[in-house]
Amino acid sequence: MRTRIGCSKLAPMAQLSNDCFVTDSRMRRIDEALAEIMARIGTVAAVERVALTAALGRILAEPIKAPISVPPAPNSAVDGYALRHRDLAPDRETRLALAGRAAAGHPFAAPVGEGEAVRIFTGAVMPDGADTVMMQEDCTAEEGFVCVAPGIRPGANTRPVGEDFTRGETLLEAGRRLRPQDIGLLAAAGFTEIAVRRKLRLALLSTGDEVQAPGTRLGDGQIYDANRAMLQALLQQFGMEATDLGILPDRRDRITQAIGEAARQHDAVMSSGGVSSGEEDHVRQAVDAQGSLYFWRLAIKPGRPVALGQVGDTPFIGLPGNPVAAMVTFLELARPMLLRLAGAAAEDAAWIPVRTRFAYRKKPGRREYLRVTLVREADGALAAEKFAREGAGILSSLTRSDGLMRLDEELAEVAPGTALPYRSYADFLA
C-alpha cells in the first residue's frame, strides 16, 4: 500500500488556472523544497526476504541483532606460543616446555600448566589457562622447549570473546543500503537471508517531438534521447526498477493519459523534459489535472525547471530536459526522495570543503552547481578546477569532471583559494 504524499498544496504555491501557469515571484530554494517534500513522504516499499548473496544494494527493513558473539572464543591474533603470563620472568628469558599444538579449527584439548607453552597459530582458540601469546619471531624453539624473551604485557596478541561484536548487539539499523562490507558482517554472524524492502518501481518517460531513441534516423532539428538511458542507469545503481514508457510526443492528451496510467501501477513517476514554461511543455498541466503540483521552478542552476508533485497518491518528479540539469536535479532532489520512498534512512550529505583554482561570479539568491575536476596542488592538497563550459546540455562535462562544487544562495563571488563544498559523483552513487 502506498503512502500518500499529502492532500494539500504547499505554500507559497504555484496555481494552475486554465492554460495559464502563474507562480510566486520568488523561486523556491532547493533545501526548502526538499524539506517540505521529505516531510510529506514515507516508505511505500513492502518487505521481502532475500538470500544474503542477493542483498547487495538492498535496503534493510528491520534492525539486525547478532545471534552470536564473534569471535565466539578467545583466540590468537598471531602465529606464536600461548602461555601463562605469570610464568614469565620479568627481566630475563624464560624457558617453557612445549605441551602441544593448536591450529585454527583444531584446538589444544588440555589446559596449559605451570611452566608450559603451546605452539599456536593465528585464529586458533586459546588453550585453557593460557592468557598471552608471544610472537614466534620473539621466541627461540628447542627440542621440546621454547625460550621466551621478557617484556611482553599480559594478554598480548590475543583476541577476546566478542572483540568484533557480541551476541544481542545491533549490527545494522533498518534503512541501511547494504554495502559489500555489510554483507560480510552479516555472513560473519551466520545469516543466510535477511528482510529487505522490495525494490522501488518507477515509471520513466521522456517528452518532446525533437527527441528520438538511439538507433533511429534523426530528422531535421532532432536529437537522441540521452536522459532516459542515463536515468535508467541511475535508478539501477540504487536498486530500483524502472518501466520504460519511451518518448511521448508533445501532446497534452497523450502525456496526461500516460502519466495517469503509470501512476496507478508504480510507486513513483519520473519524466524528463516538458516542465518549462513554453507552449509545448505539457507535463505540468498533465500532473496538476490529475493531482497536485507543489512547485515547478527552483532557484538553482542548472535545473531551474523541475516539477514535484503527485498524481493521485503517487509521487511525481519532473526533471529538466537538459541532461546536465537532469543529472544534477536527480542527484540533489530526486535521489533523496526516492530513497525515502524505498525505505532508506536519511543520510548526512557528504559535502567536503575543497579550495578552488578559479574565480567566479554568480547571482545571489540562487544555488549553483559547478562541474569540477580535482587536481593536486604543490603543497599536496586537492583543489578544484572548473569545467571550461557551463551549458546544461553539455553531457560530456559530466564524464570529464569528478564531481560537483556547490555555491550556496548567499554567495555572490568566488576567489581562487576559496574553500567550497564538493561532492564526487562516486559518493552520490555510493
Dihedral sign (CA 150, 151, 157, 161): positive
- Residue 150: asked if its preceding bond is cis (omega within 30°), the reply is no
Angle at 20 between CA 16 and CA 25, to 5 degrees: 75
Residue 23 clears pLDDT 60, i.e. is over it: no
Ramachandran angles phi, psi of 158, nearest 5°:
-120, 155
Tell me whether residue 188 is exposed, middle or buried, using C-beta atoms within 10 angstroms of its C-beta: 0 to 12, 13 to 18, 19 or more: middle
pLDDT tens for each residue of 337-391? 999 999 999 887 789 999 999 999 999 999 999 999 999 999 999 999 999 998 9
375: cell is 587536481
Residues 6+ apart with CB under 8 A from 77: 122, 133, 157, 158, 159
Residue 165 clears pLDDT 90, i.e. is over it: yes
Q: How far is CA 403 from the centre of its chain?
A: 15
Structural domains of the chain, with CATH: 15-45+199-342 (3.40.980.10), 49-67+164-197 (3.90.105.10), 75-159 (2.170.190.11), 352-429 (2.40.340.10)
Element (H, E) at 301: strand 300-301
Give the CB-side neighbour count of residue 228, counting CA atoms within 13 A: 22
61: cell is 527493513
Residue 12 clears pLDDT 80, i.e. is over it: no
What is the share, in percent, of the chain residues with pLDDT greater than 70?
A: 92
Across 190-200, average pLDDT: 97
**Which position has the grid cell 578467545?**
74
What is the share, in percent, of the chain residues with pLDDT greater than 90?
A: 78
Q: 382-386 and 352-356 as β-strands: parallel, antiparallel, unpaired?
A: parallel
232: cell is 535508467
CA–CA distances in Å: residue 379 to residues 352, 385, 429:
18, 16, 30
Tell me what pLDDT residue 22 has.
33
Residues 6+ apart with CB under 8 A from 250: 207, 208, 209, 274, 280, 282
Tell me what pLDDT residue 26 has.
62
Tell me what pLDDT residue 19 has.
33
Tell me whether residue 231 is exposed, middle or buried, using C-beta atoms within 10 angstroms of its C-beta: 0 to 12, 13 to 18, 19 or more: buried
Tell me what pLDDT residue 7 has.
35
Angle at 253 between CA 247 and CA 254, to 5 degrees: 25
Across 8-34, average pLDDT: 50
Across 58-64, average pLDDT: 97
pLDDT-derived band at 100, boundaries 50, 70, 90: very high
Residue 155 clears pLDDT 90, i.e. is over it: yes
Angle at 235 between CA 230 and CA 237, to 5 degrees: 95
Element (H, E) at 116: strand 116-120
Tell me what pLDDT residue 348 has.
77
Across 97-110, average pLDDT: 97
Q: Return mean pLDDT, the chain.
A: 90
pLDDT tens for each residue of 248-290? 988 889 999 999 999 999 999 999 987 665 555 678 888 888 9
Which value, in Å, is the radius of gyration of the alpha carbons in the chain? 30
pLDDT tens for each residue of 286-330? 888 899 888 778 999 998 888 888 999 999 999 999 999 999 999
- How far is 272 from 265, CA to CA, in rounded Å? 19
3-state DSSP assignment of residue 131: coil
Residue 131 clears pLDDT 80, i.e. is over it: yes
Specify the higher pLDDT residue, 348 or 182.
182
- Residue 71: asked if its preceding bond is cis (omega within 30°), the reply is yes
**Which position has the grid cell 513554453?**
278
pLDDT tens for each residue of 239-250? 999 999 999 988
Ramachandran angles phi, psi of 63, nearest 5°:
-65, 150
Among 368, 405, 406, 408, which Cα is nearest to 384's? 405
